[in-house]
Amino acid sequence: MSRTRTAMLAALALVAGASGTAFAVVPGDVGVAAIPCTVDYKVQNQWDTGFTAAVTVTNNSAAKTSWSLKWSYAGNQKVTSAWNAKVSQSGTAVTAGNETYNGTLATGGSAGFGFQGSYSGTNAIPATFTLDGVTCNVDGGGGPTDPPDPTGPKVDNPYSGAKVYVNPEWSAKAAAEPGGSRISNQPTGVWLDRIAAINGVNGGMGLRAHLDEALRQKGSGELVVQLVIYNLPGRDCAALASNGELGPTEIDKYKTQYIDPIAAILADPKYAALRIVNTIEIDSLPNLVTNTGSRPTATPECDVMKANGNYQKGVGYALNKLGDAPNVYNYIDAGHHGWIGWDDNFAPSAALFKEAATTEGATVNDVHGFITNTANYSALKENNFTINDSVGGKSVRESSWVDWNRYVDELSFAQAFRNQLVTTGFNSGIGMLIDTSRNGWGGTARPAGPGALTDVNTYVNGGRYDRRIHIGNWCNQSGAGLGERPQANPAAGIDAYVWMKPPGESDGSSQFIENPEGKGFDRMCDPTYTGNTRNGFNMSGALPNAPISGHWFSAQFQELMKNAYPAL
């Protein structure tokens, strides 16, 4: 239900005649007085105790170099924060003045700003506005009369019709690189990879600082903020470079010192106008499918996490707590096609995700979708061969590269896995995200067409865009390039292509480096390493001289730009 109130306070003006008598001038009469200004005041979001509003003021009189808009509330509304205007309040009287960058108002020009407020009881739209002391008409207004259901409704795709937050810290690093200004305005994920990151590490921005900056970037439109929730107990049990600060049994600390503080910040009404996308615990649940038990890739650490159930408990708790706010959208990490695309991983992974999404009070309604290829390199679309091709009587699936996988690229996998997730019990409206930050594989090594038909391996290897030595290689890959730029609704079932992993941030150090962040040294990041079961005992393909994970790696950033596809 919505309400709209239109008040034409100056539509019928009384104008003094020559004789001193007053007469009415009706609209359309040549003597009508021009409406000096109009105000469009809209309540955008409203809940039990608060609301956000967007205001647009249009100046129909002489041009201005500064402006001041005033109104009064009939109820107990209080403005708590604002953007694109300096807003103050005394009692029920509110004054909104221009910022230095939007003070100019030409004749017919408009300025917009937004704010967040609190209220109780009713939230009536103000009846009168004045611009520099002159009464305006209310061009329109509206908003919900009843607070929305706190669990919804959510939009089908949060990325549709929205800008996406540009992290100023990453943007500054990118812009400082030669040629980096070409991509420094791209949106990337904000990684909350330890408890300290919530308040900011080493003088950097914390979660509130990012959200405050997002409100500034938002303006009067919609804006998505992308957060990576990444601090499970015993995190990333199969890759030492991304180990975390919490031990395998510290699930209570994860809940009370990590998830609860994040949830409290996201639930702050100040941020209700933002669309907040959480990507939940990268590389966690797939490890329980592929790296446990009797599998040749199993690790003792992953067996421990499967036995204690803390990955499922942590993911479920995060989904439950973070999904309470109507403007928060949770996407669970779903590995990538080179991880769970095989028959014995595909359906079991979906079943495990369902288990996690229905524990610790979570339900499938707390899951808006899934994300694949996060911080990985799998090609988005292989155009030079398909899974159905054969050479010399042998299927592409028999090639050493594909190795009986059902999928040859990330797009086909994400679309198929979405269907499997729905079949497993997730809502039919779920959407997929694909991280394209490092899977472009352009540059001079990019094949121009299919490989030779000599045999199935020559055919696949000659035509594949993904130039890794082995699909199991994941650390700071040599030859990689930026992929498709972030965009909404790029393909059926795909909510967006995103750059969740900020290009230029290392996957792990090339050699052991002492650090206070709990980051281990993984030989898969060592360019001299000859491999293990997970990569077929091939060379790691990693770049040399890399810093610890998450730290800026200039050489990688330059390589990603050089090999970008589409090219920069």
Q: What is the DSSP letter of 310?
A: H
- The answer to whether the predicted template modeling score (pTM) of the entire model surpasses 0.85 is no
Print the domain residue range for 78.
Answer: 2-144
Same domain, 224 and 369: yes
Q: What is the mean pLDDT of residues 295-310?
A: 94
- Domain assignment present for residue 375? The answer is yes
- Domain assignment present for residue 472? The answer is no
- Domain assignment present for residue 20? The answer is yes
**Does 466 participate in catalysis according to the annotation?**
no
Q: 83-97, 355-369, 377-391 — which is least confidently predicted?
A: 83-97
Q: Considering 333, 366, 409, 507, which one is annotated as catalytic?
A: 507
Please tell me the total count of domains within the chain: 2
**Mean pLDDT of the residues in the chain:** 89
Same domain, 364 and 233: yes
**Does 212 participate in catalysis according to the annotation?**
no
Same domain, 219 and 337: yes
Same domain, 219 and 127: no
CATH number at residue 202: 3.20.20.40
Environment class of residue 155 by beta-carbon count within 10 Å: exposed (0-12), middle (13-18) or buried (19+)? middle
Q: Considering 139, 236, 283, 495, which one is annotated as catalytic?
A: 283
Same domain, 129 and 243: no
What's the pLDDT score for residue 122? 84
pLDDT above 80 (res 355): yes
Q: Which of 114, 144, 174 is the last residue of a domain?
A: 144
Q: What is the rounded CA–CA span in Å between residue 505 and residue 308?
A: 32
Element (H, E) at 554: helix 554-562
CATH number at residue 122: 2.60.40.290
Same domain, 136 and 230: no
Same domain, 183 and 58: no
Same domain, 43 and 105: yes
The label of the residue with tokens 């509110």 reads: 94
Same domain, 275 and 315: yes
What's the pLDDT score for residue 44? 73
Residue 500's nearest CA partner among 238, 182, 225 is: 225
SS3 labels along 255-290? HHHHHHHHHHHHCCHHHCCCEEEEEECCCCHHHHHH
Query: Backbone phi, then psi, for 286, in 5-degree steps?
Result: -60, -30
Same domain, 188 and 132: no
pLDDT above 60 (res 5): no
Same domain, 132 and 177: no
pLDDT band, residue 6 (cuts 50/70/90): very low
What's the pLDDT score for residue 139? 53
Terminus-to-terminus CA distance in the chain, angstroms? 47
Residue 503's nearest CA partner among 164, 225, 180 is: 180
Same domain, 194 and 66: no
DSSP per residue over 18-44, as a string?
A: TTS-EEEE-TTSTTPPPP-EEEEEEEE
pLDDT tens track for 174-204: 999 999 999 999 999 999 999 999 999 888 9
Q: Which one-letter amino acid corresponds to residue 172? A: A
Q: Which of 490, 506, 522 is the last residue of a domain?
A: 506
